[in-house]
């Protein structure tokens, strides 16, 4: 049995599932509780309610693993709070001086991490040859200044580190030796080709280091209090899992894991591996595409709180529409607005149907006769039903338009509706005849966390000489499989789910960027009993 939990902006969902393989997983119990300002407290509440509603005779000791998807780290970055003071050390001199680290960062986030940067010699060319030699004395001088300023975390980046991470590893050892207790995040573990965006992702990861420690300890204590001794894993933003030790090193891997969990859960519940997924929460509606059972990834460059990164992220279009969205000017067709602001996790106290004083989209759905929710339904049913249905029709058009914007082919496309706020949408959308709302759709995100697999990824620039393509790709596939198994996948269960080749015409010698992604079933016998492993995306 496995416990899946997903923490959203409005609700914290939890499910108890049984079954080893995805094709025989059964949902035994499910709950939806309001998210609290203290995320951990909401998780504790959800676990308590879930165990109380578990099948008769069930004991917490039967749970083999706990999977949690959390917005904790994303919220910290967006709000610029709970961030660890971080220094940025870039290995690139004599090159890379034109654009220094933290360029383009919002002022409040730059201030939150401290804004300390150091340019040092080092780095590689695209083919792995040295750009310049690592200068040990230079690094020691930087380390002395870092120690003197009381900085506790460092983001280390170098030119073409994904091609060769050796220099970053050596520099990290020097910095740790000079500053005992220093936390070092290396860019070769985090990003892809592209120095500035990879460096930005590394800085965010380093700034979350201490928050990751606190969250890991709080979640572990919460499970222990509930009598659950099973391994704890967190959801990553590519639809795979990482153990709690790994999450302490790479908390940035959780960014956007919520939409990813919802899409994975939607695919499992509907039995469809290629579809559009519409996830309606309390604050937003996220529209994404499921391809081969996994979320389609966003283009190379994405944005987190105004910071450009090239960390893997699901391709999601978010609309300011949710069950808690504020509705203004309801009686005037020309002035009615829906969202983007929302009552969020205050829905059950602020919405009219729950005795509050705020008109939300959930109230409009009840007034239109589309849903039966809350304790004060008679109050909102006095509203103009035709006007309520007209407001919902406008919302439907916006959602359908978002799906059309995300699709890349005119072929028929199934649409799967999930999310706790899904009651505001009907079972049909304009121009989309195949709309499905599977059982347990309101907790699809928690189910996506519970069924997640373990992944390994390779992203590297290689030289492909004439007649060597098959050999190079075979080596890349084998290394991706090894990384998945090292991350906790059961040997023999790993499959290659994606292979991408991009010839780099601007570089000589047959240079090609190769990306390979492998996934496999979680090996519960190994998770929780080993040291944190190297990053699957390294």
pLDDT, position 536 = 37
Question: What single DSSP character describes residue 422?
Answer: G
- How far is 77 from 58, CA to CA, in rounded Å? 39
Using an 8 Å Cβ cutoff, are 188 and 43 in contact?
Answer: no
Cβ(202)–Cβ(196) under 8 Å? no
pLDDT band at 532 (very low <50, low <70, confident <90, very high): very low
Tell me, what's the pLDDT at 175? 96
Q: Which of 396, 281, 304 is nearest to 32 (CA)?
A: 281
Question: Please, are residues 426 and 407 in contact by the beta-carbon 8 Å criterion?
Answer: no
pLDDT of 530 higher than 50: no
Domains 2-77+212-271 and 272-437 alike in fold: yes
Are 446 and 5 in contact, with CB atoms under 8 Å apart?
Answer: yes
pLDDT, residue 498, reads 85
291-328 pLDDT, tens digit each: 888 888 887 688 888 899 887 788 888 888 888 889 88
Q: Residue 132 — φ and ψ, nearest 5°?
A: -155, 160
Compute the average pLDDT of residues 212-228.
Answer: 86
Specify the higher pLDDT residue, 510 or 168: 168
pLDDT for residue 58 is more than 50: yes
Indicate if the pLDDT at residue 34 is higher than 90: no
pLDDT score, position 527: 61
pLDDT of residue 529: 44
pLDDT at 535: 39
Banded model confidence at residue 156, pLDDT cuts 50, 70, 90 = very high
Q: How many residues does the chain have?
A: 538
Least-confidence region, from 85-89, 119-123, 292-296, 523-527: 523-527
Q: Enumerate the domain spans of the chain.
A: 2-77+212-271, 84-207, 272-437, 453-520
Task: Evaluate if residue 538 carries a pLDDT over 70.
Answer: no
- 507 band by pLDDT with thresholds 50, 70 and 90: low
Answer CATH for 2-77+212-271 from 3.20.20.70, 3.40.140.80, 3.30.1360.10, 3.30.420.40? 3.30.420.40
Tokens 């304790």 locate to 375
The answer for residues whose C-beta is within 8 angstroms of residue 141's C-beta and 6 or more apart is none
Q: What is the pLDDT of residue 427?
A: 83
The percent of residues in the chain predicted with pLDDT above 70, rounded, is 95
pLDDT at 531: 42
What is the tens place of the pLDDT at every residue in 457-472? 887 777 787 778 888 8
Q: Report which of residues 155 and 35 the model is more confident about.
A: 155
Instruction: Find out whether 80 and 108 touch, Cβ atoms under 8 Å.
Output: yes
pLDDT of residue 304: 84
DSSP secondary structure string, 436-452? E--TTGGGHHHHHHHT-
- Give the confidence band of 258 by pLDDT, cuts at 50, 70, 90: confident
Convert the pLDDT of each residue in 181-196 to its tens digit.
Answer: 999 999 988 877 789 9
- Pair of tokens at residue 276: 């559009």
| Overall average pLDDT of the 142-166 stretch | 92
Average pLDDT of the chain?
85
Q: pTM score > 0.85 for this model?
A: no
CATH level 2 (architecture), domain 272-437: 2-Layer Sandwich (3.30)
What's the average model confidence in pLDDT over 55-69?
86
Residue tagged 């509606």 (tokens):
285
Q: What angle separates helix 209-225 from helix 72-79, to the nearest 10 degrees?
A: 140
Whole-number Å distance between alpha carbons of 257 and 238? 7
User: Which fold would CATH assign to domain 84-207?
Assistant: Rossmann fold (3.40.50)
């Amino acid at each position: 049995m496995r416990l899946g939990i997903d923490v959203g902006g409005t609700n914290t969902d939890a499910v108890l599932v049984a079954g080893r393989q995805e094709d025989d997983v059964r949902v035994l119990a499910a709950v939806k509780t309001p998210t609290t300002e203290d995320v951990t407290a909401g998780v504790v509440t959800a676990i308590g309610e879930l165990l109380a509603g578990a099948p008769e005779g069930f004991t917490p000791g039967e749970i083999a693993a706990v999977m949690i998807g959390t917005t904790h780290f994303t919220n910290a970055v967006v709000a610029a709070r709970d961030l660890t003071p971080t220094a940025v050390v870039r290995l690139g001199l004599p090159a890379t001086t034109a654009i220094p680290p933290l360029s383009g960062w919002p002022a409040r986030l730059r201030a939150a991490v401290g804004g300390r940067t150091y340019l040092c010699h080092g780095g590689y060319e695209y083919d792995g040859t040295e750009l310049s030699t690592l200068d040990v004395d230079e690094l020691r001088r930087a380390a002395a200044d870092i120690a003197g300023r009381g900085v506790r975390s460092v983001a280390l980046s170098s030119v073409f580190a994904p091609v060769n991470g050796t220099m970053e590893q050596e520099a990290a050892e020097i910095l740790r030796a000079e500053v005992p207790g220093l936390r070092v995040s290396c860019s070769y573990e985090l990003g892809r080709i592209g120095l500035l965006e990879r460096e930005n992702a590394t800085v965010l990861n380093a700034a979350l280091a201490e928050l990751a420690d606190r969250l890991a300890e709080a979640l572990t204590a919460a499970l222990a209090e509930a009598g659950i001794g099973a391994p704890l894993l967190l959801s990553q933003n590519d639809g795979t899992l990482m153990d709690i030790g790994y999450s302490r090193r790479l908390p940035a891997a959780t960014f956007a894991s919520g939409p990813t969990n919802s899409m994975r859960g939607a695919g499992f519940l509907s039995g469809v591996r290629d579809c559009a997924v519409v996830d309606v929460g309390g604050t937003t509606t996220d529209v994404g595409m499921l391809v081969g059972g996994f979320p389609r990834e966003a283009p190379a460059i994405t944005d987190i709180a105004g910071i450009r990164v090239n960390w893997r992220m699901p391709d999601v279009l978010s609309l300011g529409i949710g069950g808690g969205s504020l509705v203004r000017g309801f009686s005037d067709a020309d002035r009615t607005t829906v969202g983007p602001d929302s009552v969020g996790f205050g829905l059950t106290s602020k919405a009219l149907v729950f005795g509050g004083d705020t008109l939300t989209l959930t109230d409009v759905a009840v007034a239109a006769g589309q849903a039966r929710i809350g304790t004060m339904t008679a109050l909102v049913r006095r509203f103009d039903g035709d006007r309520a249905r007209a407001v919902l029709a406008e919302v439907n058009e916006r959602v359908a338009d978002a799906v059309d914007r995300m699709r890349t082919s005119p072929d028929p496309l199934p649409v799967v509706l999930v999310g706790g706020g899904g009651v505001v949408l009907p079972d049909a959308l304009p121009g989309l005849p195949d709309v499905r709302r599977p059982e347990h759709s309101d907790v699809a995100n928690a189910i996506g966390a519970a069924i997640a697999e373990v992944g390994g990824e390779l992203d590297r620039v290689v030289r492909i000489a004439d007649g060597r393509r098959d050999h190079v790709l075979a080596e890349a596939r084998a290394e991706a499989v090894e990384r998945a198994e090292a991350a906790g996948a059961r040997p023999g269960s790993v499959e290659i789910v994606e292979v991408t080749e991009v010839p780099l015409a601007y570089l000589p010698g047959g240079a090609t960027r190769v990306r390979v992604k492998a996934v496999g079933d979680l090996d519960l016998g190994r998770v929780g009993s080993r040291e944190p492993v190297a990053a699957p995306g390294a």
